[in-house]
Structure 1
Amino acid sequence: MNDAERREAGEVLIVTGMSGAGRSTAANALEDLDWYVVDNLPPQMLRPLLDLTELAGESLPKVAVVVDVRGRDLFADLPEAMRALRERRQIRLLFLDASDEVLVRRFEAVRRPHPLQGDGTILDGIRRERDRLAAVRESADLIIDTSSHNIHQLATQVAELFRDEGAARHLLTIMSFGFKYGLPPDADLVADMRFLPNPFWNEDLRALTGEDEGVRDYVLAQAGALEFIDAYAAAMLPVIAGYQRENKRHSVIAIGCTGGKHRSVVMARELATRLADAPGIAVRVKDRDLGRE
Structure 2
Amino acid sequence: MTDAEHIAPEYGGPVPIAPEYPGPGEVLIVTGMSGAGRSTAADALEDLGWYVVDNLPPQMLRPLLELTELAGGALPRVAVVVDVRGRELFRELPAITRALRDGRPVRVMFLDASDEVLVRRFEAVRRPHPLQGDGTILDGINQERLRLAAVRESADIIVDTSAFNIHQLATQVIDLFAAAGAARHSVTIMSFGFKYGLPPDADLVADMRFLPNPFWNDELRSFTGEDDNVRDFVLEQQGAREFLDSYAAALVPVLEGYQRENKGHSVVAIGCTGGKHRSVVMAHELAARLSSLPGVAVRVKHRDLGRE
Instruction: Please give the range of the TM-score, normalised by the shorter of the 2 chains.
Output: over 0.9
**One of 212, 229, 248 as aligned partner of 2:263:** 248
**One of 57, 63, 67 as aligned partner of 2:82:** 67
Greater helix content: 1
Amino acid at match of 1:106: R
Compute the displacement of 1:7 (Å).
Answer: 4.9
Compute the displacement of 1:9 (Å).
Answer: 3.4
Compute the displacement of 1:15 (Å).
Answer: 0.5
Determine if the alignment matches structure 1 residue 275 to structure 2 residue 307: no
Partner of 1:172, secondary structure, is strand
- Distance in 1 (CA, whole Å) between partners of 2:261 and 2:57 is 27
Partner of 2:263, secondary structure, is coil
- Distance in 1 (CA, whole Å) between partners of 2:252 and 2:95 is 33
Report the equivalent of 1:285: 300
Contact preservation (8 Å) 2:185, 2:259 = yes
- Distance in 2 (CA, whole Å) between partners of 1:81 and 1:276 is 36
Give the TM-score taking structure 2 as reference length.
0.92
Report the more deviating stretch, 195-204 or 10-19.
Answer: 10-19
Amino acid at match of 2:34: S
**One of 186, 201, 215 as aligned partner of 1:200:** 215
Report the more deviating stretch, 6-15 or 131-140.
Answer: 6-15
Amino acid at match of 1:188: D
Determine if the alignment matches structure 1 residue 188 to structure 2 residue 203: yes
Partner of 1:16, secondary structure, is strand
Compute the displacement of 1:88 (Å).
Answer: 4.3
The correspondence of residues 68-147 of structure 1 with structure 2, limited to 5 A, is: 68-147=83-162
Higher relative contact order (CA 8 A, sep 6+): 2
Contact preservation (8 Å) 2:37, 2:166 = yes
The correspondence of residues 28-43 of structure 1 with structure 2, limited to 5 A, is: 28-43=43-58
The correspondence of residues 17-32 of structure 1 with structure 2, limited to 5 A, is: 17-32=32-47
Contact preservation (8 Å) 2:25, 2:65 = no
- Distance in 2 (CA, whole Å) between partners of 1:238 and 1:285 is 20
Number of residue pairs matched by the alignment: 288
Identity of aligned residues (%): 79
Gaps of 5+ in 2: 1-20
Amino acid at match of 1:288: R
Report the equivalent of 1:234: 249
- Distance in 1 (CA, whole Å) between partners of 2:223 and 2:305 is 11
The correspondence of residues 205-220 of structure 1 with structure 2, limited to 5 A, is: 205-220=220-235
Give the TM-score taking structure 1 as reference length.
0.96
- Distance in 1 (CA, whole Å) between partners of 2:245 and 2:95 is 43
- Distance in 2 (CA, whole Å) between partners of 1:80 and 1:175 is 33
